[in-house]
Amino acid sequence: MSLVTLNLGQCGNQVGQELLNVVSNDAFNAQKNCPGVQGKTYYACALDRFFREEQTGELAARAVLIDMEPKVINHAIATAAKSDMWKYGDGSYFCEKQGSGNNWAKGFCVHGPQHEEAVVELVRREVERCDRLAGILTMMSVAGGTGSGMGTYITQCLRDMYPHSFILNHLTWPYSTGEVIVQNYNSVLTLSHLYQLSDGMLVHENDSVHKICAQLMNIKHISFSDINKIIAHQLGSVLQPADVRGSQSDYSGNPVGDLMSSLACHAEYKLLSLSAIPHMSSSSLAYSSFTWPGLLKHLRQMLIANARMEEGIDWQVCVPPVRQGAERTGEIKQLQFNTSLANLLILRGKDVSCADSGAFLHPGLYSSWLPPEAAFRTWSSLMPFNGYEKSATLISNSQSLLQPLNKMVGKAWNMFASRAYIHQYTKYGISEEDFLDSFTALEQVISSYTCL
């Protein structure tokens, strides 16, 4: 099953490139280290998911690169071509001369409609080259103008064009201390619009990933490339072949479809967060060994205490007693405990059959509508991923993004109260009513997650 990736804007293109590097490296390593039939199936499946073979025998990525200015795309294409392992398809990119200026309205109302035909045509070409389409993955940031504004518009077009395909949006949330001044406006507009269009939104926050780089990977001068590598690792661990049905070597299921059906079961709840364990710099990796019980225990506590990495977890937080049909009150109750709607655990590596994930089935972890057996799924694969002998990733639809979302909406609302920067948006067609609609939609989402 193949995935068509859409890289939108500077962030989308930079992260998308790292993702393709990670998955291609992992596939090649799997084939090298596990020469048996397992390795071969994994390799074939992984490559088919993200790449196709051109007539020259080279691997071309099933990706479409979109940006409004040429610098980033040129750099991406040149780097990929130099790497000798894979390259971008010829002509699978669209760029214009002038950027969107961090203006969501410009991306959505001007650049989107203007370039709709060209972009949709590029996507259609890639989709037609897939034997079986697993879904479309869009990668973008929510803070800028092109990725967020034009990305939302293109998602809308693709939703209309492929109403029965899965659309998974990968979103990068900016540093809360500000990379772009109008980032909160852009984020609010993006999230409110995407909520109607997307099947699921996988979120990475720059703040959390930065902490992982600083504390776990021991990088002194963290660059965006380090951050993108971590994001690519976590995302790759989700999208690489894994068995969804029970035995460890059947990779034929639809990853995206299965992900959606297990996690995004309700239209009000579409925000998915990722936690992965372990993260270690490659120099320390050689001296460490992991056990499944240890990894799973940490991962479970990371889920409950809402931590994104395995250091600094609050072990005091524990599962509250199971509520027997309790009434939902409106306040954010005991925020330290993170209630989940659904969880998906992906285990990769040696002896994965011995891993016991029963602790995740505790009913106290989940809201009361679904029985834990329906709310929790496990995928597994015997192939070690990206150099880690054993690794586990948890995708969860839970309250973990509630706090950042709340803060983001709060800041945007404050700025909106003074009407600052609004003239830049009304210039291109987003009125104050549109803003109010977006705010209402997101307040609704916050309220739904709070009452989980």
- Residues lying near other proteins in the complex (CB under 8 A) are found at 10, 14, 69-72, 75, 96-103, 145, 175-182, 210, 213-214, 221-225, 227, 328, 330, 409-411, 413-418, 420-421, 423-424, 439-440, 443-444, 447, 451
Per DSSP, what are the bridge partners of residue 243? 380
Contact 381/42 with Cβ under 8 angstroms? yes
Residue from 71, 104, 86 nearest 25 by CA: 86
One-character DSSP codes across 180-229: STTHHHHHHHHHHHHHHH-SEEEEEEHHHHHHIIIIIS--SS--HHHHHH
Q: Who contacts 17 (Cβ-Cβ below 8 Å, separation ≥6)?
A: 7, 76, 79, 80, 228
Rank residues 76 and 260 by Cβ distance to other proteins and give the closer one: 76
Contact 281, 217 (CB under 8 A): yes
Shortest CB 13 distance to other proteins, Å: 11
Cβ neighbors of 155 (< 8 A, separation 6 or more) are 138, 167, 169, 194, 197, 198
Least distance (Å) from other proteins to the CB of residue 444?
6
Amino acid, single-letter form, for residue 51 = F
Least distance in Å: CB of 345 to other proteins?
Answer: 31
DSSP state of 106: I
167 vs 156: CA distance, rounded Å: 10
Least Å distance, CB 78 to other proteins, is: 11
CB of 409 to other proteins, least distance (A): 8
Minimum distance of other proteins from residue 98's CB (angstroms): 5
- Between 285 and 415, name the residue whose CB sits nearer to other proteins: 415
Q: Indicate the residue among 118 and 318 with the shorter CB distance to other proteins.
A: 118
Is 40 or 71 the residue whose CB approaches other proteins more closely? 71
Residue closer to other proteins by CB (options 179, 389) is 179
Q: Which CB atom, from 259 or from 445, has the smaller least distance to other proteins?
A: 445
